Amino acid sequence: MDEKSDFNQFLGQQAEAEKALVEGDVAPRLKLWTRDDPVSLLGAWGPNNLGWEAVSRTFHWVADRLSQGTYTDFRYDVDVAEASGDMAYTVGFERFNSVADDGTIEPITVRVTHVYRRENGEWKIVHRHGDMAPEDQSPPSA
């Protein structure tokens, strides 16, 4: 399998893992992450972690928080994906809806950047930066 198809296959697994996390299941995400330093997280809900112990603790907290609500229509849209040698990165968006008890639907968009490293022939995620996407306030193009 060539480098690009190998990485694309991993990204498919990651999309499924992210969907599972939104449904409150952390296990698929944990399988895709390195246990080796450096590993880091700049989380959308505020945590900034270094090291597997702190990162995994935050992932469990996020899954628990997500399991308390109702979320629908998850999509993981990767806009940029590049692999070169044993390193790779992606830039994209996680989009889903939060459904309140009264039925009100709030769309949620998280901007995400991931960094990957091949370890023992397998891709692993080594960094995630996620934040709530702000409204674009730039002037319209001419």
**Residues 47-78: tens digit of each pLDDT:** 899 999 999 999 999 999 888 888 889 999 99
For residue 93, the enclosing domain spans: 3-130
Q: Has residue 135 been placed in a domain?
A: no
Instruction: Please state, in angstroms and rounded to a whole number, the distance separating the CA atoms of residues 39 and 37.
Output: 5
**CATH code (residue 35):** 3.10.450.50
Residues 118-132 as b/e (b if ≥16 CB within 10 A, e otherwise) read beeeebbbbbbbbee
Range in 26-30, 56-60, 66-70, 117-121 the model is least confident about: 66-70
- Band (3; pLDDT cuts 50, 70, 90): low
**Contacts (Cβ under 8 Å, ≥6 apart) of 137:** none
| Burial of 59 per CB tally in 10 Å (0-12, 13-18, 19+) | buried
Q: Given a cut of 80, is residue 4 above it in pLDDT? A: no
Count of structural domains within the chain: 1
